[in-house]
Structures are given as structure tokens and as C-alpha cells.
Amino acid sequence: MSDEDFPAIPSVPKRLLLGPGPSEVNPEVLRSLALPPLGHLDPMLLEIMGKIQDLLRRSFGTRNHLTLALSGTGTSGMEAALANSVEPGDRVLIGIIGYFGERLCEIAKRVGGVVERIEGEWGKPLDPEHLRKAIEKHEPRVVCLVHAETSTGVVQDLTGIANAAHKVGALLLVDAVTSLGGQTLRVDDWGIDICYSGSQKCLGAPSGLAPITFSERAVERIKQRTKPVDSFYLDMLLLDKYWSERQYHHTISAPLIYALYTSLSLLHSEGLEASWERHRLNHRAFRKGIEAMGLHLLPDEAFSLWPLNAVLVPGGLDEAKIRSSLLNEHGIEVGGGLGPLKGKMLRVGLMGYGSRREFVLELLAALEIVLWGMGHRSDAGAGVQAAMQIYAHPSMAGVA
């Protein structure tokens, strides 16, 4: 292979990232990435890390001391949540309504948990009453639920779950990878003990860091372990000492810290609830546009995620071809289905900086053109026009 195959700066096209994440990055966040890197123990970097902790607490809606960002992706957040809270032999009750519930089971087993599954239909949330009964019956040590199931676009109602869990001495562990910053989430009010997310979804930073928070109850559980956490890299008590007491643990990535800080700062300039409303508005406009084109989202509106829209592909159309046309002819990335939904779904993320009117309209226009080319014909402009009705009259769609 010749050296011309390895130019120093790779040639990278600008895509519009409207898949399940990474999402579009705010230009300010990109500027942050290229700031001069600081050492992992530099007082100025530790100050920025302290601000990230403050801003993450606001974003999660928590006063938890142990709130920080792991040096890994959202999957490392899932692993840290389970590896710290579950000891070998512990019963773990896991709600499964999609791919990420399955992943929770996989990881819980690897760290030695005895998994009890509560399965629901993919595309619907679990019934909280059903969940509460299962908690009473199984008396697990940890209850795991996916708040925002990225594989199906469904939001899980968590009402009353924490009470039921705490009554039997269980911790409530919640995956908020796709909801943090983009959909109503109140860690303390809802009694969540462990909650994690990713930097590359509704926060609009690049991937590589995983925000996570542990309640006092969850910290106590770690302290009472009889066996240390298998993972040194994801040991929450050691990470707490690094973030809070500046005790060396690993070499954190300064550019990722800058980017996460900037994305959180922008989120709180906008206002957390304003960001939720923006995600809701763009979701409603997108749904209306999709329906006007004769397509449908998998979940009912009542339990639809706002940041992630699961669009069913009309029968007979080649899903992979739709995505490759959007990518190669229109420069737009959307995701495909996972697991049993492979080939049947487009997953459209309207997250963080990507949740914007111009992107919704751009995607609806491109999708219409691609579908026309494949023989699925709707009235020209029906999608963008329907979406505009929402933007013109948001209150008619129930959006403030």
C-alpha cells in the first residue's frame, strides 16, 4: 500500500446526522474540540470537570454527589451501572421492550447476575402495574428499565416503580441514553438510583463519554459489596476519587471533556425544559409529515420518544436502499432497525442540535424524493406541508 493511501487529514464528507446517534454536533462544540489539550490532572481541566458535574446534576434532575462522565460510550455506562450494583448471584429484574433491554440482560449475566426477564411487545412500553407486581413477586436486588428504548422509539412510564423497588430493597437502574436532555427525565423526583446516558444523543456532543449518576442508596450498595467490582476502569468509587479528590485513575480525554462541557453549557443556556419542548415540537412535526406521506411510526403518540422516531418502512420497499440513497444522494444519515426490526424500519434521530425545523423539513423532502424514485408516491410536498402546519400552530398539536 502506498503512502498516498494515508493522507494526514482524511477526506470526510459533511453528513446531516439524523440517525439514532451520534447526532449533529453544534458548531460551537466542534470549536471546543480543537482547543489546546490540557493534562488530566491540570487544575484548569479539573475545574471544567467540576462544572460538568454541576451541569450534569441539573440535566439529570438530581442532587446526587456521585455524578460524572465515564471515559467510554453509552455502553460503558450500562456496564458501569450493572458492574457496580450487581454482585454474583444477585437477582436482577430486567424489563425488555427492545434491543437495549436485551443488552442489559447480556451484561447483567456477565457480571454474575441471575436475570429475571419481564418482556413486552417491541413498540409498546411495559405496564407499570405489571412491573410493580413482578417486583413484589421476584424481590430482586436491582430493577433495570430502559427509559428511552432507542430500538423502537418508545418511552417507558416509570410511575410508581421506584416505590415498589425500594419496598423490596431493590435499586432502580434506568437507561436514559436517548432521553437525557431531550425528553422529560427527573432522576430524584422519580426515585431513580442509577441512571446513565451518552454524550452523543440529546446533549449533542461527540460520543466517547457516558454521563452517569448514583444515589446515596446506590453508593451504599457498592460500599457493602463483598467482592470488589470486576472492572477497575469502571469502578465508581475510584472514579469518584478522581473527579472529586483529583486522585489519578486514568488519563481523561481533554477534547471530549471540552465538547461535553460546551454542549451542557448550551443546553442550560437554552433551558432544560425548553430543550424538552423543542424535541417534542420537532418530533410532532416530523410525525405529522411522515403520516401525510402515508407512512407510520411504530409506537402510538402516547408513548413515543421525541428524540428517536421509529418509521415503519412500507411493505415491499427495500429499507437498506432507502438509507443508502438518503446517505449517498442527499448526504443524510438515518439508522436502520435492530434485531427483529432489521429491514423493517428507519430510525430517525431528532436529537440535540439535530432537533431543528430546517433538518425536519430537509429530511421529509429528501425522503419524499427517494420514495418517489422507488414507486411510493404521495402528493408532492405533502410531508413538508403537514410539518409546517405544526410549526405554524404548535398549540394545535398540543405543544406549548
Residues 136-175 that bind its own copies (CB under 8 A): none
Number of residues that bind its own copies (CB under 8 A): 81
Integer Cα distance of 282 and 270 in angstroms: 16
φ, ψ of residue 209 to 5 degrees: the values are -130, 145
Q: Which of residues 24-43 bind its own copies (CB under 8 A)?
A: 25, 28, 30-40, 42
Binders of its own copies in range 88-107 (CB under 8 A): 103, 106-107
345 sits in which H/E element: strand 345-349
Smallest distance from the beta carbon of 111 to its own copies, in angstroms?
Answer: 6
Distance of CA 157 to the CA centre of its chain: 16
Q: Which is it for strands 210-214 and 66-70: parallel, antiparallel or unpaired? A: antiparallel
Cβ-proximal residues to 376 (8 Å cutoff; 6+ apart), any chain = 294, 314, 317
Q: Which of residues 223-242 bind its own copies (CB under 8 A)?
A: 228-234
Least separation in angstroms between residue 259's CB and its own copies is 8
Q: Is 19 in the site for its own copies (CB under 8 A)?
A: yes
**Closest separation in Å from C-beta 399 to its own copies:** 26
Q: What is the nearest approach in angstroms of its own copies to the Cβ of residue 323? A: 10
Nearer to its own copies (CB atom), residue 190 or residue 242: 242
Residue 367 to residues 22, 297, 370, 375, 377: CA-CA distances in angstroms? 20, 14, 5, 12, 11
Residue 259 contacts its own copies per CB under 8 A: yes
- The answer to whether residue 253 forms part of the interface with its own copies (CB under 8 A) is yes
Cell of 34: 480543537
Identify residues 60-89 at the interface with its own copies (CB under 8 A). Answer: 71-76, 79, 83
d(C-alpha 294, C-alpha 305), whole Å? 20
190 to 219, contacts with its own copies by CB under 8 A? 198, 200, 206-208
Would you count residue 111 as binding its own copies (CB under 8 A)?
A: yes
